[in-house]
Structure 1
Amino acid sequence: MGFHHSLLRFTGIASFSLLIAACSSTQVQTPDLPEHVYYEKAQKALADDLPSTAVKYLQDLDNRYPFGEYSTRAELDLIYAQYNAGDYVSAHATAERFIKDHPDYEALDYAYYMRALSTYTGSQTLLERYLDSDPSKRDTSDLQKAFKEFSDFLSRYPKSKYAPDAKARMIFLRNTIARHEVDVARYYLKRQAPLSALRRGQVVIDHYPSSTSVENALAITIQSYNDLHLPLLAKTNLEVLKKSYPHSSYVDKKGHFIPIPLPSDADPGFWYWISFGLISKN
């Protein structure tokens, strides 16, 4: 009896000790340095162009002083440090967390701006997405996500000091996405899939009406309707093209539609597709 009693007591003590250890592992880490020292070291690292080092100090500060004097500023600086360290996924996540945790903070516009910028810059580095030879499979979802996030930022903070840059990047994104849609539509036309080409052209007209690719998109729809044997719809869109673009290269002197020159069977090359047509191998 005494043995069983001792065993139960030992088991109880052991279990309690494990519980204490488990609870203590979730507590805030013991500070090695005063809060301001972590922050100052992070600022020096940023000034010395050592963003990864700054990230470490800022994360240490957050872990050890989660409700300290510098904690909110440190979170904003962490977004910047992660972005400059090339960790765009973490910068985006930190910005989103800041937006959620500090909805009334005076510099919230910066967090919204950096969230969009992280998506935008990250999308430029994912070149492997465009290695596939089929342009219809090339993903522009990150570009579209960045466009929406910049749009969200501008709708909330139209007078922010970051607004001009956001607008410029949205123009670039709008034109890039629209140009990609046209390139894919041409690819479909070349492969005798006019319905798919038509849908791509309509995406540009409906969603990116102020882009530089609308004239090409209208031509895509006209040629697609002709290939689908729908002459009345083709004629209607041709009239829109002539009215909107009186000097269009797709209309001859008699007002007739000039068919679109389609890409050759040879793929134009790696750099053409990853740059959305801005760079070719020729």
Structure 2
Amino acid sequence: MNKFLIAGLVFFLLSGCSLFEEEHQQMNKNAQQLAAEGAASFMNEDYAAAVKAYTDLKDWYPFSKYAILAELKIADAHFHLKEYPEAIAAYENFEKMHPKNEAVPYIINQVAMCWFNQIDTIDRDATPAKNAMAEFERLIRLFPDSEYTQEALAHVDACIDNIVSHELYVANFYNKTKKYQAALKRYQYIVENYAGTDQSQIALEKIPTVSEHLKAVKSDNEKK
């Protein structure tokens, strides 16, 4: 056998043994030790290490009294890392598995904040604002006395502002590019669904002019 191949095999086996020994040493930690390790990492803002410790705890000791804590802290760590899709998945799984847990209001608020923190400028997709608003409204509906409710109400207003501003941006774009039918529908939608907002007033003022443009276009088409 080629001596380089033998050397490679030896290295692979030794590396494998090293990895096995390291994993074995980690598995010798009990649930309390892993919980403490995860907490220390979290406090030191080493959230990636916290995820590792809490994941090991959850996987190796699923029936430990610390397992539920691990599930929650994994989600929180992803949130602090701004890994919002992972955080949302972890929070939603926690609520699914523990629907009666006292942390559920916090969980719903955190899911909402994951979406809220992804809200972009008004020329971008408004889906994060819509999803955030839906979660904040669910929190307010299910837990009206929650400590998070007042702040959620303010966040709902911010979500509405982003959503309706996006609608107005799109309507104005259609108007500028002379797509008057599409623009009119958007302006009317804003007036009907977001009455009382500044954007609704702007849309209302735009409708007569856009309607006139639309009539003129139809008239020109009929003459052709």
TM-score, with normalisation over the residues of structure 2?
0.78
Cα offset, 1:46, TM superposition: 1.5
Percent identical pairs in the alignment equals 26
Specify whether residues 62 and 229 from structure 1 end up closer, same or farther in structure 2 by C-alpha distance, changes over 3 A only.
Answer: same
Alignment-derived partner of residue 66 in structure 1? 62
Cα offset, 1:210, TM superposition: 4.2
The separation in 2 between residues aligned to 1:197 and 1:48, in whole angstroms, is: 52
**For 1:194-209, what aligned pairs fall within 5 Å after superposition?**
194-209=180-195
Equivalent in 194, 197, 204 of residue 211 of structure 1: 197
Alignment-derived partner of residue 18 in structure 2? none
Equivalent in 18, 24, 31 of residue 27 of structure 2: 31
* Contact 1:39–1:57, Cα closer than 8 Å, also in 2: yes
CA RMSD of aligned residues (A): 2.0
| Residues 1:177 and 2:173 are matched in the alignment | no
**For 1:1-282, what aligned pairs fall within 5 Å after superposition?**
31-124=27-120, 138-229=124-215
Cα offset, 1:110, TM superposition: 0.9
1:207 counterpart letter in structure 2: N
Alignment-derived partner of residue 23 in structure 2? none
**Going by fraction, where is helix more abundant, 1 or 2?**
2
* Contact 2:126–2:162, Cα closer than 8 Å, also in 1: no
The separation in 2 between residues aligned to 1:72 and 1:212, in whole angstroms, is: 45
Specify whether residues 37 and 210 from structure 1 end up closer, same or farther in structure 2 by C-alpha distance, changes over 3 A only.
Answer: farther
3-state DSSP of counterpart to 1:229: helix
2:33 counterpart letter in structure 1: V
Deviates more, 1:80-89 or 1:209-218: 209-218
Q: Can you list the C-alpha shifts for 1:135-189, whole angstroms capped at 9, x where unaligned?
A: 5xx4222221222122112211122111222222211111111112111111111
3-state DSSP of counterpart to 1:106: coil
* Contact 1:174–1:211, Cα closer than 8 Å, also in 2: no
List, as ranges, runs of 4+ consecutive aligned residues in structure 1 with deviation greater than 4 Å: none
1:155 counterpart letter in structure 2: R
TM-score, with normalisation over the residues of structure 1?
0.63
The separation in 2 between residues aligned to 1:212 and 1:49, in whole angstroms, is: 41
Give 5+ residue unaligned stretches, structure 2.
1-25, 217-224
The separation in 2 between residues aligned to 1:211 and 1:173, in whole angstroms, is: 13
The separation in 2 between residues aligned to 1:108 and 1:139, in whole angstroms, is: 28
Specify whether residues 207 and 37 from structure 1 end up closer, same or farther in structure 2 by C-alpha distance, changes over 3 A only.
Answer: farther
Give 5+ residue unaligned stretches, structure 1.
1-29, 231-282
